[in-house]
Structure 1
Amino acid sequence: MKFLMKEGGFTTDFPYGRLDISGDEEYGFRPYQLLTASIAVCSGGVLRKILEKKRLNVEDIQIDANVHRNEQEANRVEKVEIHFTIKGAGLTEEKIHKAMELTKKNCSMVQSVIPAIEVVETFEIIPA
């Protein structure tokens, strides 16, 4: 990836679009937002694949991510909470819990940041 300086931040182009990054939301995505999004969506993608391989009937997955930063240490990201709302038929707490364990173990972004950043993953099931 190549990043070019622009007013208020940096930019890079990908085949699917342009990404503007800045410490100021007026000029682009903030780095901590991209980090949080990477962790959450990587985890969600791995979870989705695992649920598909287990042939579980999942209609939808929504992800809520909450980031905790330490203002005393350069606004360091210390914890990311990821909550999955999974909608489907025939889903049980036990099946999803097992899938979540595999997800955490196989998500490259989660594995890249722990133990420096605590990652907490929770879920709820919505019957279809």
Structure 2
Amino acid sequence: MIFRMRDVGFETETEYGTLQVAGNSEYGFRPYQLMAASIAVCSGGVMRTILDKKRISYEDITMEAHIERNEKEANRITKIAVHFTIKADISEEQMHKVMELTTKNCSMVQSVKDSIEIVETFQIVK
């Protein structure tokens, strides 16, 4: 990826269009938003793959990410809590196993696990 400076922030071209990134949300995605999105969406994609492989049917998966930052340490991300709401016919026990595999196999979670606390929770909607 090549990022080019703009008047405010930076941008890069992707196969889906221009991605604009800036420290001010008026001009593009903020870097911490992209980090949280990477964690949540990677986990969601891995979860879908696991459910498919286990032949567990699901109707919908949504994720909500909450970010905690430490202003005293360059406003770094200290914690990302991702809550999954899954509409499926799945038991709590099965879902716990799916969550373990999701965490273990999400490359983004594994990339930051030693520097950012990642908490993943779920709610089953039938």
| TM superposition score normalised by structure 2 | 0.98
% identical equivalent positions: 60
Give RMSD over aligned pairs. 0.5
Structure 2 unaligned regions, length at least 5:
none
The question of 1:108 aligning with 2:107 is answered yes
SS in 2 for 1:39: helix
Structure 1 unaligned regions, length at least 5:
none
Q: CA deviation at 1:69?
A: 0.2
Q: CA deviation at 1:15?
A: 1.2
**Counterpart of 1:8 in structure 2: which amino acid?**
V
| TM superposition score normalised by structure 1 | 0.97
Deviations along 1:62-100, one digit per CA (max 9) or x if unpaired, are 0000000001111110000000000012x1000110000
1:119 is aligned to 118
Deviations along 1:28-82, one digit per CA (max 9) or x if unpaired, are 0000000000001000000110011111110000000000000111111000000
SS in 2 for 1:25: coil
The answer to whether the Cα contact below 8 Å between 1:59 and 1:87 also exists between their aligned partners in 2 is: yes
The answer to whether the Cα contact below 8 Å between 1:7 and 1:27 also exists between their aligned partners in 2 is: no
Alignment of 1:1-128 (within 5 A): 1-89=1-89, 91-127=90-126
